[in-house]
Structure 1
Amino acid sequence: MAKKIVAPVVITVLLVVYFIFWLWLCVTMPGIPLALKIIGAVIPCALIGVSVFVLMERIKEVRSGEEDDLGKY
């Protein structure tokens, strides 16, 4: 079971690091208007939240035994 959770966790960690980089870049860049900085901060934060939510759902699926729903079709 642990092997099936490793890949989603690694991908989620990489995505979160990528989104944090873009968040930092948008907020610290000089010359950008405040409205664009706010939008540039909200979008990566939302994507981080969605990524973590999807990871939690995937972990629940693996623990409940629904490893591969595509095999049913």
Structure 2
Amino acid sequence: MKIKKMIAPIIITCLLLLYFFLYILGIINIPSQLWVKIIMLIIPLGLMGVSIFVLVERIKEIRSGEEDDLSKY
């Protein structure tokens, strides 16, 4: 039963990572200076890391049985 609740966050995270990866490939192929490319790569790489962190936290929540965050308030 818990696996069904994990499917949506995993799929959304995979789609986000694919989008950011394609964005990074596009930035790499643009002819510009190296420092401009590095600055433009920092944001998608950071967002990729945050997406993975949020996925791991969500899986921990589902496994612990705390499925509804609004029940705290």
Whether these two folds match at TM > 0.5 is yes
Unaligned runs of 5+ in 1: none
Matches of 2:13 and 2:19, distance apart in 1 = 10
Q: Which moved more, 1:16-25 or 1:63-72?
A: 63-72
Q: CA deviation at 1:69?
A: 1.4
Q: Which runs of 4+ in 1 moved over 4 A?
A: none
Q: CA deviation at 1:18?
A: 0.4
| TM, length-normalised to structure 1 | 0.91
Matches of 2:33 and 2:26, distance apart in 1 = 14
Q: CA RMSD in A?
A: 1.0
Q: CA deviation at 1:9?
A: 0.3
Counterpart residue number, 2:54: 54
Matches of 1:26 and 1:35, distance apart in 2 = 12
Q: Does residue 1 of structure 2 align to residue 19 of structure 1?
A: no
Q: How many residues align?
A: 72
Unaligned runs of 5+ in 2: none
CA deviations over 1:7-66 (Å, ceiling 9, x no partner): 000000000000001111111112x22111001222111111100000000000000011
